[in-house]
Structure 1
Amino acid sequence: MTEFSFSEIETERLLLTKLQTTDWEMISFLRSDKDVNEFVKRPSAETKEKALEFIDKISKGIESQMLYYWKLTEKGNSEMIGSICLWNFSEDGKTAEVGYDLSPKYQRKGIMNESLKSVTEFGFQKLNLDLIEAYTQYQNEPSKKLLERNGFTLVEGKKDIDNADNIVYALKK
């Protein structure tokens, strides 16, 4: 991996910026809402305390150069609407995993498509990644369509050791 420094990303409609403690309510919602988490197995953050613990964990992960995590906001509105991250980097820094979530009221508007395009571009151009993987639940049709629309292909036979319901997609540079 190349020199690590957090970078904000700007797209046509969005700003991808650093998570702040003031975003705790949206973090709590995104990590606890049953619709958002229908296809995701992860610890919830239903309390302010748990949301702030998650934000602290993310901040430490960025500081220790273990991950990139962006909050998604629409230009002209600082309210967090979702997130996207690159994490789980391989030892040689050539492979990373992408993860994302989005508030239901912003889904089906091309927002995650715009975010994913910019983050994969960042990963390949700025971080010099060779491969970006995405783990998604086999029944999560919107996520599968998003990945396929962005050139990700199903990795036949690859398993997620933490979640047997997940399938793995990959995008090569």
Structure 2
Amino acid sequence: MDPLSQPVLDALGFRLRPFEPKDAQLVREASLDPLIPLITTVPSNGTDKEILDFIDRQHHRLVERSGYSYAIADASSDQALGQIGLWLKDAGQGRASIGYWVSPRHRNKGIVSAALDAVSGWGLSLPEIYRLELYVEPWNEGSWRAAERCGYMREGLVHSWQEVGGQRKDMYMYSRLK
């Protein structure tokens, strides 16, 4: 099976592009965040090797056909500010899921909304995808407000949906349809 092909996406002042080794500083910052390593594959307090391994794993997602992992980068400087992914675990049923994070020092600047809108529009243009889903903890108002700004509808509260930091957590379920 051939690997997926990952386009670079324009996101209103930001670019969604594959991760590069130069993005190690961003991953290092994320690894020190108290929440990002709990809900992603970013290593907690990662060593240099663990951080480079994380970047390498993002490229393997294309080879494995499990999804697209993007660095969210400033369009003019190309500095990586966060990550957004379109995950294809349920693509056979016409669904994909989205996850995202932004480095703590880059939050509240509209980065997530720009990236989420771009990856969502592109994801729904894929012929096999009819529904995008994302899950957000109820306390994470910034994240669910970004989803709503991008046309996602809250479908409800899913109890004990995901383990986060060793505890089962409720999540708001959002969707955006083709």
1:42–1:120 CA distance, 2 compared to 1 (3 A): closer
How much does 1:118 deviate?
Answer: 0.6
Number of the residue aligned with 1:74: 74
Equivalent of 1:169, from 153, 169, 174? 174
For 1:31 and 1:155, the matched residues in 2 are separated by 31
Matches within 5 A, 1:59-138: 59-92=59-92, 94-138=94-138
TM-score, with length taken from structure 2: 0.83
Contact 1:88 1:96 (8 Å CA) reproduced: yes
User: Between the two proteins, what is the percent identity of the paired residues?
Assistant: 21
Q: Which runs of 5 or more residues in structure 1 are unaligned?
A: none
SS of structure 1 residue aligned to 2:15: strand
Number of the residue aligned with 2:141: 141
Contact 2:123 2:129 (8 Å CA) reproduced: yes
1:71–1:166 CA distance, 2 compared to 1 (3 A): same
For 2:108 and 2:157, the matched residues in 1 are separated by 30
For 2:97 and 2:86, the matched residues in 1 are separated by 6
Contact 1:102 1:112 (8 Å CA) reproduced: yes
Q: For residue 176 of structure 2, what is the amino acid of its counterpart?
A: L
Number of the residue aligned with 1:11: 11
How much does 1:128 deviate?
Answer: 4.1
Contact 1:70 1:83 (8 Å CA) reproduced: yes
SS of structure 1 residue aligned to 2:76: coil
Contact 2:91 2:128 (8 Å CA) reproduced: no
Number of the residue aligned with 1:41: 39
How much does 1:117 deviate?
Answer: 0.7
TM-score, with length taken from structure 1: 0.85
Q: Which runs of 5 or more residues in structure 2 are unaligned?
A: none
1:109–1:157 CA distance, 2 compared to 1 (3 A): closer
- After superposition, the C-alpha distances for 1:122-144 in whole angstroms (9 at most, x for unaligned) are 00113541111111112111111
Contact 1:84 1:100 (8 Å CA) reproduced: yes
Contact 1:19 1:71 (8 Å CA) reproduced: yes
Contact 2:95 2:132 (8 Å CA) reproduced: yes
Worse-superposed segment, 111-120 or 47-56: 47-56
Number of the residue aligned with 1:152: 152
